[in-house]
Structure 1
Amino acid sequence: MTSSWIRRGLWVVGIAAVAAALMVAALPYVASNRIVRDRIAWEMSRWTGYRVTISGSPQVEVWPQLSAVLTEVSMSRWSDPERTPVIYAERVEVGLAAMAALRGEVSFSSTRLVRPTVRVERTASGLYLPSLPESGSIGYSIELARGMVRSGAVEPDPKLVPGGALGNIEIRDGRIVTAINGKDSEVLSGVSAKANWPAPGAAASFSASAIWRGENVTVEAATQKPLALAAGSSAPISFSVKSAPANLSFEGKAGLAANPFIDGDVKFQSPSIRRVMEWTGMRMASATTIAAMSVSSHVSGDAERVKLDNTQITLGKNPGTGVLDLAFGEHGRPTLSGTLAFETLDLGPFVSAFTPLAAPASPGADDIDATLAGFINLDLRLSAAKATAGPIPLNSLAATAQVRDGLSVFDVSDASAFGGNIQTGIRFDRTPGGTQAEMRLLASDINGAAFGEAVGMTRLMPTGKGNISVILKGPGKGWNSIMENADGSISATFGPGSLSGLDLAAFVKRNAEGGFFPLDEVANGSVPIDGAEFKANVAKGVVRIEKAQANHGNSRLWLTGIMPYAGRGLALTGGISSQQPPPASNGENGEAPASPTNQTWFFVGGSWSAPFISPISGSSPN
């Protein structure tokens, strides 16, 4: 009895082994004849909605799993008579379910595209996307899910959506191209990606890496409800973009309906905004320096407007807080508005993002069109307890920054500096006829010595309290060209103090000796004054001094002449007059005679940085 059961068991095992061997032997034949040739291209087309063409001869592999290897695979739109491939892959490896293959059915477990080329086109929104198919099961499933939401469902029911798909999708060594002037131009290279969405009701994830404009970029995204997300319902989502120039991440909820929306927390960090702008194609003047930036905020909004609440922003080493609003409107150019408050703020890097605040002598400071003004509109209100504008320290700053339609304006409406108050503004207006620039400065009740030291004007700068007004405007494409063509006015008045950088007694003595001499030769000293006044007009870059006068008792020091910006030359005439005490009355009529006056005349030539003096003999040069 026992030996009989053993014999029967051996027969069963043997028959099963033979059946398994026959099945394995039959798989390549069945797969290659009933699936690869007849079904895979059709099934891929049914799911994607593209016309799928397989030019190479397919191969079927059984080990380690049943798979089909396809070569020269093209996917094009059915409506395209030219059959231009939207996706072309040198090789496609499709994992298949073995039992389904024996039944003559297709069930993809995985799809791998090797060295694919994806062709994209620029859309009206400015994004580059592939031409979408007119049909396909994937598109049908998404539209079916959207229909459920439009009918009132909070989110689509995955059980009512057709299951099955292309399985896990992987891309290796791909690239993305677009047509420019009739030729393919590479957008991304070295593309590797993985997408996993096993079923309509399951979670989905996506990860990719690529090279864009010479930088490695990685993207990761995940959602627990991909079908709800595609249908337009609210769904949790996280994504991140990482690269050397910048990192961006989002965690929250989103919807991809006709009017997409987001609600969550966003973080952005860059070691150099300048590098980001250059990387993304925003050309900047080479002398412009823009600080590192980090931003964290809660964002909420849709495709038209996004609000950034509880914004924490750091520019360089300057942390600030505020509320921002980002609107997407005209011509695809976004508008950023809101308020930002800082404890400390360096205005130079901030303003240079949209106005050329580089020093005129800096290399590359001659192209003010290369700024953010061509890419974004701004309307920001700024405040800072302490700020710096180049060498100028400011306190209690209130300022605005505006950029719109080629107009860039930065205004300091109120700030304390040098013991007084400062208001200043820079304006650049880009018009078809050229760029017009305007600069103004109004300083009230400031300490002249502190102001002169900060701006590097220590020579002959009055040290008392005073007021300064500067208004300049002119055409040009850079600081130098603007200043060389500027028109405007400069005026200043100062109270009691002194003129630094001048030994008056040594000056008079050296002038009386005759011959040329540099002003530096008599610069070790100061001249006490009761007050000083300066008035000048600026025409085509030439400063014409109408009045430059300092008084002390019966003495007066004055200058007139011109100072052209181009060449930084000097052509000035000056004088020192000293009225002597009147002599005693002669007793005849009780009237004193006129007081005698000593006059010293001189000419100032050379350059702004190295003036020299030439005595003028005789009477008044006028």
Structure 2
Amino acid sequence: MKWIFRLVGFLVVLVVVAIVSLLFLPADRVARIAAEQLRNATGREVSITGDVALSFWPVLGVRAGALEVGNATWSEQGPMLQAANAAIGVDAMALLRGDIRITNIEAESPTIRLEQRKDGRASWQFTDATGEAQISTETAPTRPARTISIERLKITDARLVYDAEGSDLVSYEGVDLTLDWPERLGPADIRAVLRPTAQAVTVEAVIDGFAGFITGETQTLKASIDTAAGTLSFDGRANTAGAVAGALTLKTDTTDAFLKALGLPGADLPHNLGRRIDMTTDVTLTPDRRLSLRDLAVDLGGNRLSGAADIELNGVPQINAQLDAGPLDLRQEAASGAGTGSGSGGGGSANAGTDGWPKTPIDASGLAAFNGEIALTAQSIDLGQFKLGPTRTLLRNDRSRMVFELRDVQAYGGNVSGEFVINNRSGLSVGGSIGAKAIQIQPLLSDAAGLNRLTGQGNAQLSFLGAGNTVDAIMRSLSGDGSLAIGKGTIQGIDLDRLMRSGDVGSGTTVFDSLTGTWTIASGVLKNRDLLLQLKNYRASGTGNIGLGAQNMDYTVTPIALRANSGQGISIPVRFVGPWSDISIRPDLEAAFDAEIDAKKDELENKAKEKINEKLGVTSQPGQSTEDAVKDKVKEKLLKKLFD
């Protein structure tokens, strides 16, 4: 028993001596030990400067006036971490056993700089770290390596700066960060709170094998970003070089608020085009920031898309995507200033009313958001003004110039091909060249201009160009040309046969065999001079203007009764005049009388000339007028008198 008591006493004395030795360690020596261990763990230069105060049991540590952790050798942005007030704690018992166990690192109001280059290098890759700490001493330079772990890292009110080469600088103020890493070879829990705006954003992550992760190994990672307006979560594998692969989920209640909560520009999206998002996809991200999305399924608030995409994230995103959709609703909310009209009366549409075209400014800045190509296949597309059936289209966007290439579009009973262009490089303009085959004319004209009186099936060609920052300005600036050829059809609202027989302009329907014409457009006014309408007993020609910008028209159709007047025909012009919302149809009797008078005048003049020629015995030569013939006859008689 004596020897047992002696042994216990010896151990107590040994512990007391060790503790006393620790208590008498100078504060700067403890600070130097802590700095050395951090240097060995990260492979970066670490300095603890300023006033240093020593803390004792149960945590041995120092509180320093300044802590600085160096950045990667290639970085030009200054230290990776720079804090004016920091504390480092070391487990005293672990230190007695020969291990370095940093229990906590605290930094107040530091600046943290993170950088990434296009070649994949990242400042947070500690590739020079050994993962093991060694204490260098003069007496035992070859002392075996000691393991190191950091149980807890706490940073408050930090400024976080992220600089990705080729992208805009991202900076966050007021960041709080905690790292819990109780076992060196175990997982680490990370929690951060960012405050880009008044609402806090919470970032949480669990990383397995954190010791290997910080030295560049790929490890399992679960992470989420939570805001009051939505959540972005990831479950997969990643490394510090920026390589990521796994399942990504995005759910937003309001996408605009979600983006703004992250400090990004908001996006006032249509309700069915991303105002809320529910998306899942398998994602792969390479260190050079090439993003691949596979098995993409996204609900944009009513419109559902599936497919795959490849995106380059260096600078302006470059997108190459293949997407499939069911019924696609691309209608915008009703614009202020747009009235409604009567569908059956041919006077209006949802976009063309008594108040004219919408004058709300169009924000086309979104055209600069990306470049690339997106191929889309849809069962149907509702554009609001126009409605398409099964569609295959290719969207190309290059520096704010977007082209919709219509490859195979079924619409209005026929097929449409061509392209539609939106250009916002130097002011907004729209244009295109479109061809339609076997199209039902009535629903097309109804959607395009609110005109419902013309029916039939035909072919059409149209090219157009307009500029302006409102729909009204674009429609008033339109220029272009086109042609139309329709087979059998009808004109509703007028019966030309009854008009020609009785002069009655009452309602009815005109059935025609064919209708052809060409037009030009300038300053928002469509002009046609060669309309030809063929009926069984009549022929009608048309000429006039249609104000596409002003939403009015002044157009005259002149039908001719082919079998009347001994085959010479009788014509009564019909004038269509007024705004689209209230077009007036009436016979132009004045024009009819003028035409009849002109015809009679010509007939009387011809008869009079024939009588004069007969009386004077004058015969007009080919190409010679009656007046010249008479003059020649008079000259001839005078000459005869002079020489007789």
Q: Given the two structures, how large is their TM-score scaled by the length of structure 1?
A: 0.71
* Structure 1 counterpart of 2:53: 58
Distance, in Å, in 1 between the alignment partners of 2:419 and 2:77 is: 58
For residues 183-198 of structure 1, the aligned pairs below 5 Å read 187-198=171-182
* Structure 2 counterpart of 1:352: none
* Structure 1 counterpart of 2:625: none
| 1:448 maps to amino acid | I
For residues 4-19 of structure 1, the aligned pairs below 5 Å read none
| 1:240 maps to amino acid | S
Q: Alpha-carbon deviation of 1:386?
A: 3.3
Aligned counterpart for 1:445 among listed residues 434, 438, 442: 438
Is the CA contact 2:361–2:469 (under 8 Å) kept in the aligned structure 1?
A: no
For residues 76-225 of structure 1, the aligned pairs below 5 Å read 86-89=80-83, 91-99=85-93, 107-119=101-113, 124-125=117-118, 139-141=127-129, 163-177=147-161, 187-198=171-182, 201-213=185-197, 215-225=199-209
Distance, in Å, in 1 between the alignment partners of 2:306 and 2:232 is: 19
* Structure 1 counterpart of 2:273: 290
- Structure 1: which 5+ residue stretches go unaligned? 146-159, 180-184, 350-357, 513-521, 584-592
Is the CA contact 1:286–1:365 (under 8 Å) kept in the aligned structure 2?
A: no
* Structure 1 counterpart of 2:326: 343
Is the CA contact 1:34–1:104 (under 8 Å) kept in the aligned structure 2?
A: no
Deviations for 1:107-165, whole angstroms, at most 9, x for unmatched residues? 421112233333456x5549998x779xxxx55326999xxxxxxxxxxxxxx996314
Q: Alpha-carbon deviation of 1:210?
A: 0.9
Change (3 A) 1:543 1:213: farther
* Structure 1 counterpart of 2:459: 467
Aligned counterpart for 1:582 among listed residues 564, 568, 571: 564
| 2:236 maps to amino acid | G
Change (3 A) 1:200 1:61: closer
Q: Verify: 1:380 aligned to 2:358, yes or no.
A: no
Is the CA contact 2:256–2:269 (under 8 Å) kept in the aligned structure 1?
A: no
Is the CA contact 1:32–1:58 (under 8 Å) kept in the aligned structure 2?
A: no
Distance, in Å, in 2 between the alignment partners of 1:77 and 1:235 is: 23
Change (3 A) 1:231 1:132: closer
Point out the structure with max Rg over C-alpha: 2
Change (3 A) 1:542 1:213: farther
Is the CA contact 1:76–1:83 (under 8 Å) kept in the aligned structure 2?
A: no
Q: Alpha-carbon deviation of 1:169?
A: 0.8
Is the CA contact 1:269–1:295 (under 8 Å) kept in the aligned structure 2?
A: yes
Q: Verify: 1:366 aligned to 2:362, yes or no.
A: yes
* Structure 2 counterpart of 1:547: 530
| 1:532 maps to amino acid | L
For residues 319-330 of structure 1, the aligned pairs below 5 Å read 319-322=304-307, 324-328=308-312
Is the CA contact 1:125–1:332 (under 8 Å) kept in the aligned structure 2?
A: no
Is the CA contact 1:27–1:102 (under 8 Å) kept in the aligned structure 2?
A: no
- Structure 2: which 5+ residue stretches go unaligned? 134-143, 164-168, 333-349, 599-644
Deviations for 1:337-382, whole angstroms, at most 9, x for unmatched residues? 2422223222457xxxxxxxx97955654343x12x4232332322
* Structure 1 counterpart of 2:235: 251
| 2:492 maps to amino acid | S
More deviation, 407-416/470-479: 470-479
Deviations for 1:57-82, whole angstroms, at most 9, x for unmatched residues? 6363647x5554445545566999x9
Deviations for 1:488-533, whole angstroms, at most 9, x for unmatched residues? 2233233333223558799999x99xxxxxxxxx996544444433
Q: SS of the residue aligned with 1:201?
A: coil
Change (3 A) 1:194 1:301: closer
Deviations for 1:392-424, whole angstroms, at most 9, x for unmatched residues? 443332222222344322223223333322335
Distance, in Å, in 1 between the alignment partners of 2:362 and 2:193 is: 38
Q: Verify: 1:426 aligned to 2:409, yes or no.
A: no
Q: SS of the residue aligned with 1:463?
A: strand
Is the CA contact 2:150–2:184 (under 8 Å) kept in the aligned structure 1?
A: no
Is the CA contact 2:51–2:65 (under 8 Å) kept in the aligned structure 1?
A: yes
Q: SS of the residue aligned with 2:129?
A: helix
Is the CA contact 1:142–1:230 (under 8 Å) kept in the aligned structure 2?
A: no
Q: Alpha-carbon deviation of 1:544?
A: 1.9
Percentage identity across paired residues of the two chains: 20
Is the CA contact 2:463–2:482 (under 8 Å) kept in the aligned structure 1?
A: yes
Q: Verify: 1:310 aligned to 2:295, yes or no.
A: yes
Is the CA contact 2:456–2:486 (under 8 Å) kept in the aligned structure 1?
A: yes
Distance, in Å, in 1 between the alignment partners of 2:507 and 2:281 is: 56
Matched length: 552
Distance, in Å, in 2 between the alignment partners of 1:255 and 1:612 is: 73
Aligned counterpart for 1:597 among listed residues 570, 595, 606: 570
Change (3 A) 1:430 1:186: closer
Q: SS of the residue aligned with 2:172?
A: strand
Aligned counterpart for 1:500 among listed residues 492, 496, 518: 492
Change (3 A) 1:359 1:231: farther
Q: SS of the residue aligned with 1:450?
A: helix
Q: SS of the residue aligned with 2:185?
A: coil
Q: Alpha-carbon deviation of 1:611?
A: 4.8
Deviations for 1:239-292, whole angstroms, at most 9, x for unmatched residues? 3333345533332334455xx544432333344556666766567688897333
Change (3 A) 1:569 1:454: closer
Is the CA contact 1:114–1:171 (under 8 Å) kept in the aligned structure 2?
A: yes
Q: SS of the residue aligned with 1:141?
A: coil
Q: SS of the residue aligned with 2:594?
A: coil
Q: Verify: 1:413 aligned to 2:407, yes or no.
A: yes
Change (3 A) 1:51 1:546: farther
